[in-house]
Structure 1
Amino acid sequence: MPSRATIYDVAAEAGVSISTVSLALNNPARVSAGTRERVLTAADALGYTPKTEAVVKARKGVGRIGVLAPFTSYPSAARRLNGVLHEAAGRPLEVVVFDQESAARSASPLLASLPLTGQLDGLLVVSLPLEEAAAGRLRAQGLPAVLVDVRHPGFDSIHTDDSSGGRLVAEHLTGRGHTDFGFVGERQQSDDHLSPTRKRLSGFRASLTEAGCPLGETHVRFTEHSLEASAAAAASLLSGEQRPTAVFAADDTLAAGVVRAAQRLGLAVPGDVAVAGFDDSELAEALDLTTVRQPLEESGRAALELLRKRMSGKEAAAVREVALRLELVRRGST
């Protein structure tokens, strides 16, 4: 029986030091993309999997679930995690959190090494695009994975229809008599995927066009994901000669920035400009903000339930894509 591959074997195969192998697997952002790919390719070729305490625990009946998401930057991701933790409570499961700062950037550096560490029995990828290289490695290593708020061929997913959410907002605003619109969304960092912002804009724009009120490019702003960045983008939108009377922001944080910009310009909300967001966060409730409600906690619970079935082998081989319903919440900002 051939001996088990070691970290020294991987280092020799990749032509790097063992410390570089360790970094590539455990802290991938600290090595270059080329080096990381050499290490991962070598590990794949040798069938290398570290023997860790986590593996021992798993063999004793404790499953370890990884949750990869942009927790620190997006309240919606934290609420999805709450759903995961609620579903995991009282079960023989450990939940390990991996934070990715921005949903607009690829999670490949971190995601690429997770299947190889041997520390996980299942993985939830939340609100982050799954690129093909990482998807292929997950398949090759046989790590059960479920996607939340994103989709990729061959993987189970729990998601909502962002485009239909944009349509809900457009229908509401046109129903309120508005004919001149604006949009503020997060700037997408890669063209390898279609972000939720782009999907929400697509539905919003399509519905407005059908209503005879097309959204011009001059009334669309893309910015970093923060309240102040959104406020700056919205200020340029609302201070022009042909300012919109209604603005849809791709999430509630960005919508709060639009409200702040309107206040600084002396514009009344909703008297001078109506504002709508997306997610139905606590911030939306505090600001009396019209928004699209996502079943955030429910998506986390449903994702973990589906992942547990995959891990146990009880789920059918066919890929399951579960769509959850969106709902427009009407408040005072429109």
Structure 2
Amino acid sequence: MGNKDVTIYDVAARAGVSISTVSNVLNKPLRVNAATRARVLAIIDELGFVPRDAAISRARKGIGRIGVIAPFTSYESFRRRLVGVLQEASERGSEVVVWDEASAAATTSPVMSSLPVKHRLDGLLIMGLPVDNTLVDRLITTGLPTVLVDTRHPRLSSVTVDDDLGGYLVARHLLGRGHQHITAVREKQVSDQYVSQAQRRFAGIERALAEAGLPSSHLEQATAPGTDVSAGRAALAELWASGRRPTAFFGHSDALAAGIVAELRASGIDAVPGVAVIGYDDGPLAEAIDMTSVYQPLEESGRLATRMLYARIASHQPVQETVLKPEVVVRAT
């Protein structure tokens, strides 16, 4: 049984640390080095101090709690990033709280100005969602360590994949196969309040076209009614209905590109020499249907961002931007 007369002040005095250090040991153990945490826990046992059960359990495990916010149900790529986060967190014994947000492309107010965070967190990862200055001020003022993934802000650390380079590689691949006109299929972007991944990839395509002496009009953009395979099929069916017959397709995601491949195959057009399709993300779907795709180090980006977050939880760190490189994986399409 614990001694209810012993207070946190008694623990701090016996351990030779501040009250805030004892509080961090119990509530934010990742902020305290292992030796100090062990000493404080030993004093807690010696004096019979009775903190909240959940707090002492977390402290003994040396774990903390991090939050992850992303449009998980909109894009497979963020689920894969989350795999990397969970792997890293598991190795450190941390708890992970996950929130799903609407896709930035599908909302008229894509910039995050508030957070649905009600749980006590030691750190936060925001994936694929632009943030505004008001939110950044709040995060910094409250001292919540935060790392962005797949988006940037000059006052927060981030891990991104070079989308401009990805688009450039798409165009170089298709140009190398003899195509001079590229049809890019993407979901509709409702708001112009931010620059999306698709826009950066298209800028890369235009750069490659310009280097080849071709105008930007050689990039045609088609809008899909969603982000899944059926949306890719619908987008291509609409192209056919309009009388257009492009032969080089770029799907903004593997799912959209797979829908294009499925519709081509259903129409018997994929057997025509010279038709090319390339997706983006290079996930299991691309491999399963033998589709050329742009590889993104998604799981790696999740792990790197989580490591960066833990470093910021442990001590103050300067703002750091890590940019990873994509690459084309050539398959049958």
TM range (shorter): 0.7 to 0.9
Q: Distance in 2 between matches of 1:267 and 1:53?
A: 65
Once the two structures are superposed, residues 210-267 of structure 1 have per-residue CA deviations (whole angstroms, 9 ceiling, x without a partner) of 2133343883112322222222222223455452210111111111121123234331
Q: In the alignment, is residue 265 of structure 1 matched against residue 249 of structure 2?
A: no
Partner of 1:319: 319
**Partner Cα separation in structure 1 for residue 278 and residue 83 of structure 2:** 25
Q: Which runs of 5+ in 2 are unaligned?
A: 1-51
TM-score (structure 2 length as normaliser): 0.76
Which amino acid counterpart does residue 323 of structure 2 have in structure 1? A
Task: Determine helix, strand or coil for the equivalent of 2:103.
Answer: coil
Cα 1:202/1:270, change in 2 over 3 Å? farther
Secondary structure (helix, strand or coil) at the match of 2:273 reads coil
Q: Which residue of 1 aligns with 2:85?
A: 84
Residue type of the alignment partner of 2:289:
L
- Please, what TM-score do these two structures have when normalized by structure 1? 0.76
Give the aligned CA root-mean-square deviation in angstroms: 2.4
Matched-pair identity in %: 45
**Residue pairs, 1:187-206, within 5 angstroms:** 187-206=188-207
C-alpha separation between the residues in 2 aligned to 1:284 and 1:138? 38
Q: How does 1:18-29 map to 2 (within 5 A)?
A: none
Q: Return the letter of the residue paired with 1:257.
A: G
For residues 71-220 of structure 1, the aligned pairs below 5 Å read: 71-104=72-105, 105=107, 106=110, 108=112, 111-114=114-117, 117=118, 119-216=120-217, 219-220=220-221
The whole-number CA distance in structure 2 between the counterparts of 1:276 and 1:215 is: 19
SS in 2 for 1:164: helix
CA contact under 8 A between 2:185 and 2:223: conserved in structure 1?
yes
1:147-168 deviation digits (Å, cap 9, x = unpaired): 1111111110111110110000
Equivalent position of 1:278 in the other structure:
280
1:253 is aligned to 255
Structure exhibiting the larger radius of gyration computed from Cα positions: 2
Q: 8 Å contact 1:146–1:307 — kept in the other structure?
A: yes
Question: Is the contact made by 1:72 and 1:99 (CA closer than 8 Å) also made in structure 2?
Answer: yes
Aligned twin of 1:330: 330
Matched letter for residue 108 of structure 1: M
Separation in structure 2 between the aligned mates of residue 213 and residue 281 of structure 1, nearest angstrom: 31
Q: 1:136 to 1:121 in 2, by over 3 A?
A: same
Residues 310 and 272 of structure 1: CA distance in aligned 2, closer, same or farther (over 3 Å): same
Aligned length: 277
Q: What is the identity, as a one-letter code, of the residue corresponding to 1:193? A: Y
